[in-house]
């Protein structure tokens, strides 16, 4: 009886490439970008080396570069002036607000060359930093009012659709958000606008650098509406609800700490599945690479491949353009 030798299929780069079960392509990736009101030059984000808050012009240049590199889509986050924030995040609804103005500019510049996604949430725009409108519970405690928030989300979805988004991404984890957004869009004739449901969004420490990126005014935490990291099957309940409410795509966030959840979701659906390699995941790679503790480029491709291997068809990553260069052999 012959000895089994799995190493035969690892002997050369060509063999390894031929039998690879998971392939990574630039078209699988979505680049999250931040555009900030009131700045004249791109502003570096200290906790995310290489990532900036864009001006409108630098945003267009970055988006064009990503498109030319073959990146599959752009997810846009708006950073308003501090004085424009209020309790209800009203600047997020205004056509001239930074997010909607950026969507309009990008759609005018790029048309349908890319998939233009918009963050549909209030946290960047509220003076308290929460993802919804605040109210009081029966005991008088301040809480995020789920149903009042849904009314604002419906308006926000329409504002982003009018501004030119192809896909809206409700990230606030409010109960019923996909249904309300789908009904609002369909009711105004935006039946072609897709909804990317943040189905499993965990209350993670890995969002820390993102808070700097969007100039968050958060007071307290979001554990009453984002999922508990200790729970796994709760995500399948959220998935069932999002699909019933009309989600076109679903997402797990963060990615690497929740690959088990990602695999569960991918096995359960027949719609595209996305995962978000969040700011803290990016920052950890950058910090370790800066110390010489790991090979940055290898780690970038390895982590993105692992997310794809776990079941994500789409990966949101701040490395999207850089990974596209690596995959294309560009320096």
**Per-residue pLDDT tens over the stretch 142-160:** 889 999 999 999 999 999 9
What's residue 11's pLDDT? 96
Whose structure tokens read 């209030």? 122
What's residue 218's pLDDT? 79
CB 121, CB 170: distance < 8 Å: yes
Counting as low any pLDDT under 70, the low residues of the chain are 330-331
Report how far residue 45's alpha carbon sits from residue 215's, in angstroms, rounded to the nearest whole number. Answer: 10
Is the residue at 71 inside a domain? yes
Enzyme catalytic residues: 201, 253
CB 85, CB 38: distance < 8 Å: no
The number of domains in the chain is 1
**Encoding tokens for residue 10?**
């690892």
Q: Residue 317 sits in which domain range?
A: 23-328
Residue 208: how many CB atoms within 10 A of its CB? 15
Q: Kindly report the CATH number assigned to the domain that includes residue 156.
A: 3.20.20.70
- Ramachandran region, residue 118 (left: φ > 0; alpha: ψ -120 to 50; beta: rest): beta
CA 304 from chain centre, in angstroms, equals: 14
What's residue 18's pLDDT? 96
What's residue 78's pLDDT? 97
Residues in the chain: 331
CB 180, CB 152: distance < 8 Å: no
What's residue 330's pLDDT? 65
Report how far residue 302's alpha carbon sits from residue 267's, in angstroms, rounded to the nearest whole number. Answer: 22
Is the residue at 254 inside a domain? yes
HEC sequence for the chain: CCCCCHHHHHCCHHHHHHHCCCCCCHHHEEEEEEEECCCCCCEECCCCCCCEEECHHHHHHHHHHHHHCCCCEEEEEEECCHHHCECCCHHHCCCCCHHHHHHHHHHHHHCCCCEEEEEECCCCCECCCCCCCEEECCCCCEEECHHHHHHHHHHHHHHHHHHCCCEEEECCCCCCHHHHHHHHHHHCCCCCCEEEEEEEEECCHHHHHHHHHCCCCCCCCCCCCCECCCCCCHHHHHHHHHHHHCCCEEEEECCHHHHHHHHHHHHHCCCCEEEEECHHHHHHHHHHHHCCCCCHHHHHHHHHHHHHHCCCCEEEECCHHHHHHHHHCCC
Report how far residue 71's alpha carbon sits from residue 209's, in angstroms, rounded to the nearest whole number. Answer: 23
The closest alpha carbon to 80, from 100, 103, 66, 50, belongs to 100
Single pTM value for the model: 0.96
Is the residue at 284 inside a domain? yes
Is the residue at 196 inside a domain? yes
CA geometry: angle at 315 spanning 314 and 318, to 5°? 145
Is the residue at 18 inside a domain? no
What's residue 331's pLDDT? 60
Report how far residue 251's alpha carbon sits from residue 93's, in angstroms, rounded to the nearest whole number. Answer: 24
What's residue 2's pLDDT? 84
Is the residue at 16 inside a domain? no
Is the residue at 6 inside a domain? no
Which residues are within 8 A (CB) of 135 and not within 5 positions of it... i.e. 6 or more apart?
142, 143, 144, 145, 148
Is the residue at 8 inside a domain? no
């Amino acid at each position: 009886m012959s000895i089994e030798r799995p190493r035969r299929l690892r002997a050369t780069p060509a063999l390894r490439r031929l039998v690879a079960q998971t392939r990574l392509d630039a078209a699988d990736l979505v680049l999250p970008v931040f555009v900030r009101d009131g700045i004249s030059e791109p502003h570096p984000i200290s906790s995310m080396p290489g990532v900036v808050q864009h001006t409108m012009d630098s945003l267009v240049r970055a988006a064009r570069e990503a498109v030319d590199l073959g990146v599959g889509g752009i997810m846009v986050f708006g950073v308003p002036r501090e004085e424009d924030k209020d309790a209800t995040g009203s600047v997020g609804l205004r056509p001239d607000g930074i997010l909607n103005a950026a969507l309009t500019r990008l759609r005018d510049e790029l048309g349908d060359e890319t998939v233009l996604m918009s963050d549909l949430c209030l946290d960047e725009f509220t003076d308290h930093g929460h993802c919804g409108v605040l109210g009081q519970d029966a005991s008088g405690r301040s809480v995020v009012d789920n149903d009042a928030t849904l009314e604002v989300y419906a308006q926000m979805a329409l504002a982003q659709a009018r501004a030119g988004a192809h896909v809206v991404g409700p990230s606030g984890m409010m109960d019923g958000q996909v249904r309300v957004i789908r009904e609002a869009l369909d009711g105004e004739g935006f039946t072609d606008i897709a909804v990317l449901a943040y189905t499993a969004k965990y209350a993670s420490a890995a969002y820390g650098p993102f808070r700097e990126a969007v100039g968050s005014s958060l007071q307290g935490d979001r554990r009453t509406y984002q999922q508990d990291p200790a729970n796994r099957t709760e995500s399948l309940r959220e998935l069932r609800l999002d699909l019933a409410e009309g989600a076109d795509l679903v997402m797990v966030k963060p990615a690497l700490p929740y690959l088990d959840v990602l695999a569960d979701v991918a096995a359960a659906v027949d719609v595209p599945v996305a995962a978000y390699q969040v700011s803290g995941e990016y920052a950890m790679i950058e910090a370790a690479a800066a110390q010489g503790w790991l090979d940055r480029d290898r780690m970038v491709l390895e982590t993105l491949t692992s997310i794809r291997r776990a079941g994500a068809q789409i990966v949101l990553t701040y490395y999207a353009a850089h990974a596209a260069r690596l995959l294309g052999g560009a320096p």
